[in-house]
Chain A
Amino acid sequence: MAEMWISMGPQHPMTHGLWTLKVKVDGETVVDTEPDLGYIHRGVEKICEARDFTQITTYCDRLCYASANTWSHAYIYAAEDLLEVEVPERAEYIRMVAIELQRIASHLMWLGAYCPDVGNLTGMVWCLREREMMMDLLQELGGSRMHYNFPRVGGVKRDLPIGFALRCRAKLKLFLDRIQEYEAILDESTIFLVRTQGVGYAKAEEMINHGVSGPNVRAAGHNYDVRWAHPYSVYDELDWEPSVERPSIKGSDCYDRYRVRVEEMRQSALMILDGLDKMPGGADTYHEPGDPAILAKAPARAAEGQTGYHHFEDSRGESMFYLAGGGEGRGKHPYRVSIRSPMFITIPYAAKCMIGYKIADIPAIMGSFDPCIGETDR
């Protein structure tokens, strides 16, 4: 059969968003790929140049619809670096709870999207139902279902609501049980294993050189996590291990990338349970918004020539904000906001990973890297 180009996207079930993957196929085999991004470029970086440091948080929430909280926190840490703010420890704990809840929700969204990629709708329904629990918890924290606008420069918007710890523990314990159900329908299914094992090999060193990070690298057997390598927040006080897979000699395949995320959900849930126990002041006490225990005073303007940045472990890899402060002359706005999106770097690599596999493997491989186009196009 002659080779032909297929344009998958911008509206295609495989894409998980709005982008185009041009695939050159020879019969059923993929010969060449070419990603084309930018369909939903909103110019967030430019808009942020005209917003003050608190307003930017809302834009960061909207970078990724599946993982809003981690993105706004990634920004907040960079802004605190720029504005030289010390954060109260209780606020750090609350942030950790919010970030890890969001990480679970994001991975559930990923797993929920991955199951239809390999042809099963039941997994999607199950995952989205459990994601609903996480969304409820995050809603209690941030007040809305999707874009929470939760962190503030110097702390968090609100303390944990009364009774939050009880509900959170109950739901997380339930969730830990239900992870086993995903494993029952995925790991126990020979067809799922046949579809994901031995497909989409990627090696750790290659991925690092390509700028891929996060769960995708940990799936390839290398323990690299920003949370311990470039530490921030309170992760050193919690009981956790980065979830790392042990792949085969050829590198990590789709199955490893699935496993590492399931393990990471488990780790995050345990981390939250541990964090609720260790929270300074106790998880059941409640401070009014603006209380110094949860929100430190922060300057509104950055010093002249000051810059700040922060590497952050997002659900999809290492994300980063680079802020250049404007100084007195530019008011409360940063001079330049630059966003490092993990998926922007990963998608070209994932597209290269597909070469040599079948058309039916395209969604399986692409989905296993967890693409999110909102953050990619910014």
Chain B
Amino acid sequence: MAKEVSAKQALSAAKEIVKDVSDFGDAVNAEVRHHTGGRRKNAYVYIEVVASEWRELALWLKNSKGVDYCSMVTGIHWPENADAAWQVVVHLLRTGVTNPQIVKKRVHETKVDIAALSGNSVPMEFEISMTVPDTREPSVPSVADIWVGADWNEKETWDLVGSDFAGHVGMRRVLLPHDSPTGYHPLQKQHKLRYHDFNEMYDDPQGFGRKPEDSGRVK
């Protein structure tokens, strides 16, 4: 019996999804990508989506493709790129988890015949990227009601990066103190560490000899 999902299974499952995604038209751009490190170059699905279409895509992924698990929602700030200054990256997994079959009030069988997995039960990774042009209040639709696991991920992304999620109920600070100043999101790139912008940090490892460029202006 196979011990793990084979590269062929993953590739065909990914291709199938990419083929079906094309129904969405221009708003959704999907391709099969491969990991580039490690022993296997696993295939995964990479989707670029226009933010306004994201909820529809998410519902489709969840309902017809069995994507049941939101691994991570994260944001990146690209201040130099005005067209796509805010990027939100969502990592989803298809685990194929259902409540296991139950016989006589006990779970029946826990072994999985991995080689026989096909269609929607093949575990699959998804990377979904959407960008928002430069704005003071970046926002993308929330998917916390589709995958509850996205709830705290979105809170964290808003807390640290500052991209808001429209439709998210109960947005609040989770990692920063509750009384942090409004609009303060430390992972935005205007907040600089001492090392930033030095190509070689080794000539002054601790940065003692230099001051950050905003010293004197920011306390």
Contacts and interface: CB of A to CB of B under 8 A. Distances in A.
Whether chain B is bound by chain A comes out as yes
Contacts of B160: 45
B86 to A, nearest CB: 12
Given A318-B93, A345-B149, A211 B71 contact: yes
Contact of A217 (B42, B97, B114, B125): B97
Given A227-B4, A229-B123, A320-B71, A211 B195 contact: no
B93 A311 contact: yes
A370 interface: no
B72 interface: yes
Contact of A205 (B38, B97, B151, B173): B97
Interface string A362-378: 00000000000000011
Given A308-B36, A310-B35, A344-B156, A209 B148 contact: yes
B28 to A, nearest CB: 19
A37 B174 contact: yes
Among A86, A340, A378, residue most surrounded by chain B Cβ atoms (within 10 Å): A340
A331 B99 contact: no
B187 A47 contact: no
B105 A204 contact: no
B175 A331 contact: no
A58 to B, nearest CB: 14
B208 interface: no
A350 B124 CA distance: 26
B98 A205 contact: yes
Given A46-B186, A244-B110, A331-B198, A235 B149 contact: no
A247 B198 contact: no
Contact of B149 (A209, A240, A336): A209
Interface in B68-108: 68-72, 74, 76, 89, 91, 93, 95-100, 102, 105-107
A335 B152 CA distance: 23
A297 interface: no
Interface of B is mostly: loop
B37 A85 contact: yes
A247 B149 contact: no
A322 interface: yes
Given A80-B37, A232-B38, A236-B4, A211 B175 contact: no
B111 interface: yes
B201 interface: yes
Interface size class of B (residues with CB under 8 A): 35 or more
Interface in A332-378: 333, 335-336, 338, 340, 344-345, 348, 377-378
B195 A50 contact: yes
A236 B72 contact: no
Interface string A204-238: 11001111110001001111100111111111111
A87 interface: yes
A345 B152 contact: yes
A358 B151 CA distance: 27
A245 B74 CA distance: 33
A231 B105 CA distance: 33
Contacts of B176: 38, 41
27 contacts: A45-B160, A45-B187, A46-B187, A49-B193, A82-B36, A84-B36, A86-B39, A203-B99, A208-B95, A208-B97, A211-B152, A213-B95, A228-B3, A228-B114, A229-B95, A230-B93, A232-B38, A235-B4, A244-B110, A246-B110, A318-B93, A320-B72, A322-B74, A331-B198, A331-B199, A345-B149, A348-B151
The 6 closest A-B pairs by CB, nearest first: A211-B149, A80-B37, A229-B123, A50-B195, A221-B107, A244-B110
Given A86-B39, A92-B39, 5 more contacts: A204-B99, A211-B148, A222-B97, A224-B96, A307-B127
Interface of B: 3-5, 35-40, 42, 68-72, 74, 76, 89, 91, 93, 95-100, 102, 105-107, 110-112, 114, 123, 125, 127, 147-153, 156, 160, 173-177, 186-187, 191, 193-196, 198-201
